Amino acid sequence: MDNNNLEQITFGGGCFWCVESCFNMLNGVQSAISGYSGGHKDNPTYEEVCTGETGHAEVVQITFDPKIISYAQLMDVFFFLHDPTQLNRQGNDIGTQYRSVIYYKDGAEKAKAEEALKKSEKSGKWPGKYVTEITQFEKFWPAEQYHQGYYNENPTQPYCSAVVGPKIQKFKKHFGELGMLNEA
């Protein structure tokens, strides 16, 4: 990877344990870090974010090489991994911290996010109206260390085995067939 040309994207698609694990498997992704964005409290804790009172979403900040994986491909993965028609929830995970959101840094990124959302809506993969927010990026707060790589460290934890594991298997099958997964 060309470290001089790396870019970042930050978005939330429900529980960050699912999203972070999958993005870390993609060719061209240097890192996917679980954290929090979109709230009004500096350096929030997981417990604070879970109350819904800080305004943060659980997000993943992805550092990637656009020569290997494009913004559009990352958006395809984003819309594959979660249901963008569910307002403030993903399955049984309910609360504003689980909202579907894309954070953009400039007008060009905003336009790309809007285009990706329209493309996904037209695909019909998720029937219903999309509720994904497209919001100006302000700050990313990394989640506590125990959240980083959580699924890899805790695959038998009940939530991981019941929810995260099946989602990762579906992801690996689909994006593996497309040749987008790294070998590691």
Query: What is this structure's pTM?
Result: 0.94
Q: Band of the pLDDT at 34, cuts 50, 70, 90?
A: very high
* In contact, 67 and 109? CB cutoff 8 Å: no
Positive or negative, the Cα torsion across 125, 127, 129, 133?
A: negative
Tokens 């709230």 map to which residue?
Answer: 39
Q: Does residue 1 fall inside a structural domain?
A: no
156, with CB counted inside 10 A (0-12, 13-18, 19+), is exposed
Q: Band of the pLDDT at 3, cuts 50, 70, 90?
A: confident
pLDDT for the residue numbered 184? 61
The share of the chain scoring above pLDDT 90, in percent, equals: 95
Q: What is the pLDDT of residues 119-174, one digit of tens each?
A: 999 999 999 999 999 999 999 999 999 999 999 999 999 999 999 999 999 999 99
Strand, coil or helix: 108? helix
Total structural domains within the chain: 1
- Mean pLDDT for the stretch of residues 103-118: 97
Q: What is the pLDDT of residues 64-86, one digit of tens each?
A: 999 999 999 999 999 999 999 99
pLDDT for the residue numbered 130? 97
User: What is the spatial distance between Cα 130 and Cα 150, in angstroms, rounded to a whole number?
Assistant: 28
pLDDT for the residue numbered 91? 87
User: What is the spatial distance between Cα 9 and Cα 64, in angstroms, rounded to a whole number?
Assistant: 8
User: What is the spatial distance between Cα 159 and Cα 163, in angstroms, rounded to a whole number?
Assistant: 6
The CATH number of whichever domain residue 143 belongs to comes to 3.30.1060.10
pLDDT for the residue numbered 1? 67
- Is 15 among the catalytic positions? yes
Domain span including residue 74? 7-178
The per-residue pLDDT of the chain, averaged, comes to: 95
Please check the confidence at residue 183 and state whether its pLDDT lies above 80.
no
* In contact, 135 and 101? CB cutoff 8 Å: yes
Q: Does residue 39 fall inside a structural domain?
A: yes
User: What is the spatial distance between Cα 178 and Cα 18, in angstroms, rounded to a whole number?
Assistant: 20
pLDDT for the residue numbered 4? 83
Please check the confidence at residue 18 and state whether its pLDDT lies above 90.
no
Tokens 């695909």 map to which residue?
Answer: 123
Q: Does residue 144 fall inside a structural domain?
A: yes
Q: Does residue 171 fall inside a structural domain?
A: yes
Q: Does residue 49 fall inside a structural domain?
A: yes
User: What is the spatial distance between Cα 96 and Cα 87, in angstroms, rounded to a whole number?
Assistant: 8
